[in-house]
A = this chain, B = another copy of it.
Amino acid sequence: MRLALDAMGGDTGPAAVVAGALHFAAAHPDVSLVLVGDESQVRGALPARLPANVRLHHASQVVGMEEHALAAVRAKRDASVRVCFELVKRREADAAVTAGHSGAAMAAALAVLGRLPGVERPALAALFPALGASGRCLLLDVGANAECRPSHLAQFAVLGAAYVRACHAVASPRVAVLSNGEEESKGTPLTKGALALLKQSDLDFRGYAEGKDLFSGAFDVLVTDGFTGNAVLKASEGVAAGLTGLLQQAVHQAHLPSRLGGLLLRPTLAALGRLVDASEVGGVPLLGIAGVGVIAHGRSSPRAISSALRVARRTVEADLEGTLASAVAAARGWLATRAVKGAKGKTPEGF
């Protein structure tokens, strides 16, 4: 198996990415890694003698975190993230992995690989730890599609359910639409339209869920538009980051022996950590593209990069692309009944 890794991506530059790549390469001699990026910069972070399963592929450009994704990907034909997907397209790699601008990754995947047949909008997903309960909850979209139609949300449900079934061993994922209340009288034309579509699906569809349900353990997949999903994801990270600081401060001020403090805080800090830097989870595939692309978190540590590479490996082994294609094809019957308009309908009161 060959994985193409965007060596320029990530908030911290090539060093952390390369360190994670070397760690992964040492542990997985059966996987070949192609580090894609500016040769002189990446070389500087590498040892003089490369491991047998690591090689470098030069790409002269980079998409910065603050660039407009679509414009940058169109203008920079030799951007590292784009070249990763070109390697997948040319079958020189089985998957692309990047810790860079997630919007740029999606734009590059779409420009180079395109969508799976029948998929209107591929999605970015995030895995939330279900605090206080077992399991995890997948939220999508978290940023690729700021505005959506009901059929997009219904497709996110199909993609998300197929993904957690194939890669997280959830036999029958419980799926819901994120809304502003559990009652069917709540919601917007978008959520109401998605509700109507999903009731006809063969998914284990549970209706509406609320923001708190990302952590309640009651659902495996929640679907929403990318604007709301992004706000929810970042607010949750904000709470967790703030509380991590408060907690560490509290332990510090209590003058506890550090071993005791560590024992006490480890489980809580670990849960906070999963929320804050996603390094436990390590990466989530783009769902709905014609190929495999995995996004690592922008603040990725070497550990997170290594973890994202493992996710990519598992994703290729599970034939996620084929699994998703079958799921979308199977859903075509009920997805076709999209007379339901929504999103463009008249504004009802929110309560």
CB pair A268 B241 closer than 8 Å: no
Q: Is the CB of B227 within 8 A of A251?
A: no
Interface residues of A in 241-265 (CB under 8 A from B): 241-243, 245-247, 249-251, 253-254, 256, 260, 263-265
Residues of B within 8 A of A251 (CB): 264
Q: Which of A68, A183, A231 has the most CB of B within 10 A?
A: A231
Closest Cβ–Cβ distance, residue A193 to chain B (whole Å): 13
CB-CB under 8 A from A351, the residues of chain B are 68-70, 103-104, 106-107, 143-144, 146
CB distance A238 to B254 under 8 Å?
no
- Interface of A, secondary structure class, is helix
* Least distance between A207 CB and chain B CB atoms (Å): 13
Q: How far apart sit A344 and B147, CA to CA, in the bound complex (Å)?
A: 11
Query: Which B residues touch A234, using CB under 8 A?
Result: 210-212
The reply to whether A264 and B264 contact each other, CB–CB distance below 8 Å, is yes
A242 to chain B, nearest CB (A): 3
* Chain B residues within an 8 Å CB radius of A161: none
Chain B residues lying within 8 Å of A246, measured Cβ to Cβ, are: 131-132, 267-268, 271
Q: Could you tell me if A240 and B239 are in contact, using CB atoms closer than 8 angstroms?
A: yes
A216 lies within 8 A of chain B by Cβ: yes
Contact of A350 with B211 in the complex, beta carbons under 8 Å? no
- The contact of A243 among B254, B264, B272, by CB within 8 Å, is B272
Q: Is the CB of B239 within 8 A of A350?
A: no
Interface string of A309-348 (1 = CB under 8 A from B): 0000000000000000000000000000000000010011
Min CB gap A192→B, angstroms: 10
Query: How distant is A251 from chain B, measured CB to nearest CB, in Å?
Result: 7
Please report the C-alpha to C-alpha distance between residue A143 and residue B349 in the assembled complex, in whole angstroms.
Answer: 10
1/0 contact string of A119-139 vs chain B (CB within 8 Å) = 000000000001110000000
Q: Can you list 24 A-B contacts (CB < 8 A)?
A: A107-B349, A131-B239, A131-B241, A131-B242, A132-B242, A132-B246, A145-B350, A146-B186, A146-B187, A146-B348, A146-B349, A180-B230, A211-B235, A213-B238, A215-B239, A226-B350, A231-B232, A236-B236, A239-B275, A243-B268, A250-B264, A250-B266, A250-B268, A253-B267
Interface residues of A (CB under 8 A from B): 66, 68-70, 103-104, 106-107, 130-132, 143-147, 178-181, 183, 185-189, 210-216, 224, 226-228, 230-243, 245-247, 249-251, 253-254, 256, 260, 263-268, 271-272, 275, 344, 347-351
